[in-house]
């Protein structure tokens, strides 16, 4: 079944609503949502305890958005709203209907004053301006019900047509939490752990090499030619090492180093593969 941009589904006692389009009284396109359609469907959800509303919308008609906001607030189930992309204009008011209001880590709210168009004389223009102030006030009330900002500060944000990052939305009380993607963090943690393992492995190899080949202290020729207690000149008592034996030891050391390098390379390959998951 093809997924609609606007849809409602119920699984057990949890309902999911996707608002991925414009909010309008005349839904022409697949993603459009009207208050009439959504409210009727909400009334049918009599046995749900939780409603999750996922939003990605540029907004739309204020009247429709306010009706959806109030319908969600009125429902007996717990309502959680999620901003998946943009929650702009009246869609940001619908976002405020959630008891839990969750911003995606790459999402934005946009709030501004209501706007319209009008034709007529000066009196009609002035009346339209006064009407818009009152229409905007309805949105201010919705924001103020949760925001930590004063009404004057909220109105200033509206006047400036403000875009809010998740951290700002959380700070101002518009959101209650930010949903972060854990995949990248997990990958980075694994990356750092593996790098630490490789670093420790290389350090252990270097320490072993230093223990096997300590630097000689003093000059071995210092005692050469010195008489011993019996008056004889010192003579080397150590027999020269067998060149063949020495060659075998060097070969073994080289093989050991090759094996260690190979193990390190395998760790690096494993790490690169893991970081791409």
Residues taking part in catalysis: 89, 112
The better pLDDT of the pair 1, 120 is held by 120
Rounded-to-integer distance, Cα 70 and Cα 88, Å: 18
| Concatenated DSSP letters of 253-274 | HHHHHHHHHHHHHHHHHHHHHH
Asked if pLDDT for residue 31 goes beyond 50, the answer is: yes
Res 44: pLDDT: 85
Contact 43, 77 (CB under 8 A): no
Q: Measured between alpha carbons, how far is residue 110 from residues 89, 104, 168 in Å?
A: 6, 14, 11
Mean pLDDT value of segment 124-149: 96
The better pLDDT of the pair 4, 94 is held by 94
Rounded-to-integer distance, Cα 89 and Cα 61, Å: 9
CA angle 153, 168, 6 (to 5 degrees): 100
Backbone angles phi, psi at 172, to 5 degrees: -85, -5
Which candidate, 123, 67, 126, 122, places its Cα nearest to that of 97?
A: 67
Q: What is the pLDDT of residues 201-247, one digit of tens each?
A: 677 767 766 666 655 555 555 555 555 555 455 455 555 556 666 66
Q: What is the pLDDT of residues 55-111, one digit of tens each?
A: 999 999 999 999 999 999 999 999 999 999 999 999 999 999 999 999 999 999 999
The better pLDDT of the pair 258, 124 is held by 124
What are the residue boundaries of the structural domains of the chain, listed by start?
A: 6-180, 182-205+251-277
Between 6-15, 28-37, 104-113, the lowest mean confidence (pLDDT) is in 6-15
| Concatenated DSSP letters of the chain | -PPPSEEEEEETTEEEEEE-S-B-SS--STT-B-HHHHHHHHHT--S-SEEEEEEEE--B-HHHHHHHHHHHHHSSSEEEEEEEEEEETHHHHHHTT-SEEEEETT-EEEE--------S-HHHHHHHHHHHHHHHHHHHHHHHTT-SS-HHHHHHHHHTTEEE-HHHHHHTTS-SEEE--HHHHHHHHHHHHHHHHHHHHHHHHHHHHHHHSPPPPS-TTTTTT-B-TTSPBP---SPPPPHHHHHHHHHHHHHHHHHHHHHHHHHHHHHHHHHT-
Alpha-carbon Rg for the chain, nearest whole angstrom, is 37
Tell me which CATH code domain 6-180 carries: 3.90.226.10
Asked if pLDDT for residue 17 goes beyond 50, the answer is: yes
Res 248: pLDDT: 67
Residue 152 neighbours by CB distance under 10 Å: 7
The better pLDDT of the pair 271, 177 is held by 177
Res 1: pLDDT: 38
Rounded-to-integer distance, Cα 177 and Cα 171, Å: 10
Asked if pLDDT for residue 186 goes beyond 80, the answer is: no
Q: Measured between alpha carbons, how far is residue 81 from residues 14, 24, 174 in Å?
A: 13, 19, 11
């Amino acid at each position: 079944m093809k997924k609609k941009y606007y849809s409602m589904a119920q699984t057990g006692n949890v309902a999911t609503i996707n608002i991925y389009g414009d909010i309008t009284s005349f839904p022409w396109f697949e993603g459009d949502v009207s208050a009439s359609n959504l409210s009727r469907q909400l009334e049918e959800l009599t046995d749900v305890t939780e409603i999750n509303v996922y939003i990605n919308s540029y907004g739309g008609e204020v009247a429709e958005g306010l009706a959806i906001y109030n319908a969600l607030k009125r429902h007996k189930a717990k309502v959680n709203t999620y901003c998946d992309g943009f929650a702009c204009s009246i869609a940001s008011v619908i976002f405020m209907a959630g008891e839990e209001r969750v911003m995606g880590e790459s999402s934005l709210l946009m709030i501004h004053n209501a706007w319209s168009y009008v034709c007529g004389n000066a009196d009609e223009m002035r009346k339209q301006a006064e009407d818009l102030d009152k229409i905007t006030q309805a949105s201010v009330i919705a924001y103020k019900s949760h925001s930590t900002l004063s009404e004057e500060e909220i109105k200033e944000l509206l006047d400036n047509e403000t875009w809010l990052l998740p951290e700002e939305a959380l700070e101002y009380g518009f959101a209650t939490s930010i949903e972060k993607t854990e995949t990248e963090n997990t990958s980075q943690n694994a990356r750092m752990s593996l790098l630490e393992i490789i670093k420790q492995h290389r350090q252990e190899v270097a320490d072993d090499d230093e223990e096997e080949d300590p630097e000689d202290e003093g000059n071995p020729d210092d005692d050469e030619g010195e008489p011993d207690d019996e008056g004889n000149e010192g003579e080397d008592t150590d027999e020269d090492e067998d060149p063949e034996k020495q060659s075998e030891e060097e070969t073994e050391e080289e093989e050991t180093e090759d094996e260690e390098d190979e193990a390190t390379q395998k760790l690096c390959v494993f790490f690169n593969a893991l970081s791409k998951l």
